[in-house]
Chain A
Amino acid sequence: DAGVIQSPRHEVTEMGQEVTLRCKPISGHDYLFWYRQTMMRGLELLIYFNNNVPIDDSGMPEDRFSAKMPNASFSTLKIQPSEPRDSAVYFCASSLNGDQPQHFGDGTRLSIL
């Protein structure tokens, strides 16, 4: 299996711009997670989906962040407008169910200037 695929790997943009991060989970996995990792705060869960339905979005920092999962093989995390404090590595992960190991993508390194 190809594993969890994220794109782009790196994104540099100016503050105020819209940023869209993409994720393709492992085929057959029912759960999809979005995380953010920074030196200051470590790894934080932003939102996760079960069968394409958002289950818990309490980690989404504010209304500028939104996530969608239109089908079982694709999800997006959008930031609009972006701010410098959004700079971080964003990871997507998937698992068969909530009690199975999570498999992570290699992340998107986002820099907002």
Chain B
Amino acid sequence: GDSVTQMEGPVTLSEEAFLTINCTYTATGYPSLFWYVQYPGEGLQLLLKATKADDKGSNKGFEATYRKETTSFHLEKGSVQVSDSAVYFCALSGFMNRDDKIIFGKGTRLHILP
């Protein structure tokens, strides 16, 4: 079945460091790919998405490119801030029809030190 694998955390970085969180997927067909963020005590927020191969999703300085050849969707940010501390989830879904559910990775906790 479809699945998402992302790097285990926690990831600890200093402010202004470069961030990469790796994500790979297994899927039949051509899913849409997502990164969600969960701040402490809160629900999930969609951070960015890409719906087809070679698309780049971007938001709030974060970027991820849909790489079909490597089945990857790595999250990057050039200069992280303390406020970026959260748990990040890579996910996929067909979203081609009403029945499509979201399949999530286990999440990567990110700590940014001032």
Asked whether A and B interact, the reply is no
